[in-house]
Amino acid sequence: MKSLGKMIVAIGSENKAKIRAAQLGFDQAFKECQVTIVGCKAASLVSDQPMSDEECIKGAINRAKESLIKVPEAKFGVGMEGGVNNIKDPVDKWYECGWIAVVSRDDPENIGIASTARFELPPKVMHEIIVNKKELAVIMDELTQQTDIRSNEGAMGVYTNSILHRDHIYSHGLIFALSRFITKPEYW
Ligand SMILES: O=P(O)(O)OP(=O)(O)OP(=O)(O)OC[C@H]1O[C@@H](n2cnc3c(O)ncnc32)[C@H](O)[C@@H]1O
């Protein structure tokens, strides 16, 4: 039987849902490899509750780059940053999604960036974030009377009756971010 090549991937987070997402995404994108995901603390250098896509992207890139430094044996560094964003026109609504950055050690300037699917956050949740300056994770735990929603099904699970969980949805965003590394070079 052909043995699988081994690959180590760093992720700039110790959040279990994000680590599961990284494993799910890399296992599908690199079927020929046995992938080990190594989580580590990495500073996003943006606010605890990012309020725009731009801020999330910055946070994801910062985390991806720092994770590559912290895990010297890693081939890729991954950053995942959740946050909210406001679409004003044609309807004024707030959405939540995760942004994912993937940095390759071979070519650190070649960064894959993509987002997860997004979902609407209700005005009562946005009121808590904007007026009472609370983080989404805290609001979710209070609303559901559960603990550590962020490491489990996530707000995505709460607002889909557990149909869509944070790990799976983030794995889809990760696979989009990996596109440049796994598809034919002539597509790029
Ligand atoms: O340990 P880290 O990697 O920071 O994981 P985190 O869950 O705190 O995630 P982010 O920093 O990426 O998210 C920014 C904020 O939004 C919250 N958040 C994002 N997505 C969420 C989700 O699906 N469920 C609950 N909270 C979420 C999160 O807890 C923070 O308050």
pLDDT tens column, 91-144: 999 999 999 999 999 999 999 999 999 999 999 999 999 999 999 999 999 999
Any atom of ligand 1 within 6 Å of the Cβ of 27:
no
2 Cα: distance to centroid of ligand 1 (angstroms): 39
Enclosing domain of residue 81: 5-187
CATH number, residue 128: 3.90.950.10
> For 111-167, what is the HEC assignment?
EEEEECCCEEECHHHHHHHHCCCCCHHHHHHHHHCCCCHHHCCHHHHHCCCCCCCHH
Any atom of ligand 1 within 6 Å of the Cβ of 112:
no
Q: Within 10 A of 145 (CB to CB), how many other CB atoms are there?
A: 6
Interatomic CA distance for residues 69 and 119, integer angstroms: 33
Q: Within 10 A of 54 (CB to CB), how many other CB atoms are there?
A: 13
Q: Which of 131, 129, 156, 149 is nearest to 48 (CA)?
A: 129
**What is the chain's alpha carbon radius of gyration, rounded to the nearest angstrom?**
17
The structural domain count of the chain equals: 1
- Asked if the interface predicted TM-score (ipTM) of this complex is over 0.95, the answer is no
Residue pLDDT, tens place only, 32-82 = 999 999 999 999 999 999 999 999 999 999 999 999 999 999 999 999 999
Q: Which residues contact 35 (CB under 8 A, 6 or more apart)?
A: 6, 7, 8, 9, 23, 26, 27
